[in-house]
Amino acid sequence: MPAASHHVVIIGGGITGLAAAFALTERASGRVPPITCTLIEADDRLGGKILTDRVGGFVIEGGPESFLSQKPWAMELCRQLGLSERLIGTNPERRHTFVLSRGRLRDLPEGLVMGLPTKLAPFLKSDLLSWAGKCRIAAELLLPRARQSVDESLASFFRRRLGDEAFERMIEPLLGGIYAGDAEQLSIEATFPRFREMEREHGSLVRSMLSTRSAPAAEDRRATPFMALQGGLGEMVERLSARLKTVNILTGRRVREFRLQADGLGYQVMLADGSALPADAVVITAPAYDAASLLASLHGPLADELRSIPYMSTATVSLGFRKRDVGHALNGYGFVVPRVEGRSLLASTWTSSKWSHRAPDDSVLLRVYLGGAHDKSVMDRTDSELAELMRSELRGILGIDREPLLVKVYRWPRSMPQYHVGHLQRLDRIEGLLQQTPGIYVAGAGYRGVGIPDCIHDGARAAERVLTHFDKTANPSV
């Protein structure tokens, strides 16, 4: 007899889980048998790493502040949620980024895309690199392609193509910083495969960049490379949860493990409070180490593979000041910090210069990002120690010595998955092992992209796979 309905349990109410639930309900409407969905989130609130606080006219992002527009999935989701009019691009008047280099802020040359020059004149004039470093980049035009196509680290790839100085002063802070990772270990194939393709297709990254001149335009003409929402990314979470009316959303409930149902066709989702839910399919969007704990009793080798994806801890400190108390012009989007500088921060965003709607007219908002592979002590410090450390960094770098109006510290333990060399092979093994637990899927930042668009895409992909699974079990010959 056909099932009366199919029940899908989604674990995790971060952007991946919410996007999976949204895609599932959109695509499943009108299906026979109908699909019901429960989303379970351990925390008391939805959003996971997306956390927007609105305090005294400040809009403060505790986690992500924006997303890439070139990867279409976040823009598309905003459109589907009716948020297109709320999207904001970066402020064109302050379009400038700095690098803290040899103790002071230096301009990142105009036309640099992901650390590579698309315009020659500003790059040659810049004092970020020595002449020897610039010549080494030019010499890249003459270097042969890699003979073998094996994966390598970001550091190995860029040192080989562009030299040590360009890697340490430009590439590492811009690219390694995104993962808060160790560029000596991060996989080029898993993090920035486009650069490998450029080497393969053009023989040279510089030739490829100079022929492109500018990044391909996003579909929406008003889009800047990074986009945000007027009231913060929390708007996306609020709108999603309001749209998921048919989904049974449980917050403050932690899933503990799964068991195979007696008929062997589905699973029992066991919660920490002792209750259980039957599920015909499960999408796990919790971080890979949590997914590993959930799956340990069901499939040990799968759990071992998931557990071996490393994660780094990070924190952000947001500081609001009266404009008149800040001597610095804050005429840019902020600065990044190369690891070789030996500082305790990875980057700083001058939030109210980069985005509108972030601070009252008479105030400014700054944010500092810290932790990651090169400062593992971040979780050992108290909030007030972190705030004091960052105030002293900003005093030294920007000369801001007045009392802030507002300080907010957000700690993100084991928050940034690290796609080390071999990550793609590990994903293949995980996919292979998941074949042995039909109806269970993993999705989220730990696997195919840490950015919000990738997470949305991965959540929607998992929803699609659930539907295919139901189609196949209903009709095995398909």
User: Which residues here bind ligand FAD, judged by CB under 6 A?
Assistant: 11-17, 40-43, 48-50, 63-67, 254-255, 285-287, 290, 294, 314, 316, 412, 415-416, 444-445, 450-452, 455
Give the number of other Cβ atoms within 10 Å of residue 92's Cβ: 7
Going by C-beta distance under 8 Å and a sequence separation of 6 or more, which residues neighbour residue 471?
Answer: 478
Q: Which is nearer to ligand FAD, 54 or 102 (CB)?
A: 54
Helix (H) / strand (E) containing 416: strand 406-417
Residue 400 CB, nearest approach to ligand FAD (Å): 22
CB of residue 142 vs ligand FAD: minimum separation in angstroms? Answer: 36
The answer to whether 417 and 348 have CB atoms below 8 angstroms apart is: no
Is residue 348 within 8 A of residue 335, CB to CB? The reply is yes
For the purposes of burial, counting CB atoms within 10 Å of the CB of 243, is it exposed (0-12), middle (13-18) or buried (19 or more)? middle
The nearest distance, CB 144 to ligand FAD, in angstroms, is: 35
**In angstroms, rounded to a whole number, what is the distance separating the alpha carbons of residues 51 and 234?**
6
CB of 410 to ligand FAD, least distance (A): 7
List b or e across 406-433, with b for residues whose CB sees 16 or more CB atoms inside 10 angstroms. Answer: bbbbbbbeebbbbbbbebeebbeebeeb
Shortest Cβ 257–ligand FAD spacing (Å) = 9
Measure CA of the first residue to CA of the last residue in the chain; give whole Å: 19
Closer residue to ligand FAD in complex, CB, 294/330: 294
Which residue, 133 or 444, is less far from ligand FAD as judged by CB?
444
Please state, in angstroms and rounded to a whole number, the distance separating the CA atoms of residues 177 and 170. 11
**Could you tell me which residues are beta bridge partners of residue 267?**
260, 279
Could you tell me whether strands 311-322 and 363-371 are parallel, antiparallel, or unpaired per DSSP bridges? antiparallel
The minimum distance between CB 2 and ligand FAD, in angstroms, equals 30
How far is Cα 3 from Cα 474, in angstroms, rounded to an integer? 9
Q: Which is nearer to ligand FAD, 65 or 199 (CB)?
A: 65
Between strands 35-41 and 248-251, the pairing is parallel
Count how many Cα atoms sit within 13 Å of the Cα of residue 419 in the half-sphere of its side chain.
25
Nearer to ligand FAD, 94 or 354 (CB): 354
Distances (CA, A) of 427 to 118, 122, 149, 155, 453: 34, 41, 18, 22, 19
Q: How far is 441 from 23, CA to CA, in rounded Å?
A: 15
- For ligand FAD, give the closer residue by CB, 417 or 439: 417
Nearer to ligand FAD, 137 or 445 (CB): 445
Q: Please, what is the minimum distance in Å from the beta carbon of residue 31 to ligand FAD?
A: 25
The answer to whether 170 and 112 are in contact (CB under 8 A) is yes
What sign has the CA pseudo-torsion 222, 367, 311, 108? Answer: positive
In whole angstroms, the minimum distance from the beta carbon of 294 to ligand FAD comes to 6
* Shorter beta-carbon distance to ligand FAD: residue 8 or 450: 450
Rg (Cα) of the chain, in Å, rounded?
23
Instruction: Measure the CA dihedral 290/371/180/143, to 10°.
Output: -140
Tokens of 340: 């070789």
Residue placing its CB nearer to ligand FAD in the complex, 156 or 437: 437
Minimum separation from the CB atom of position 446 to ligand FAD (A): 7
* Least CB distance to ligand FAD at residue 456 (A): 9
The secondary structure of residue 399, as a DSSP letter, is -
Nearer to ligand FAD, 440 or 455 (CB): 455
Residue 48 or 404 having the CB closest to ligand FAD: 48
Instruction: Report CA-CA distances (Å) from 221 to 73, 103, 218, 271, 336.
Output: 16, 38, 7, 46, 28
Whole-number minimum distance, CB 392 to ligand FAD, in Å?
21
What is the nearest approach in angstroms of ligand FAD to the Cβ of residue 118? 22
Q: Which is nearer to ligand FAD, 11 or 326 (CB)?
A: 11
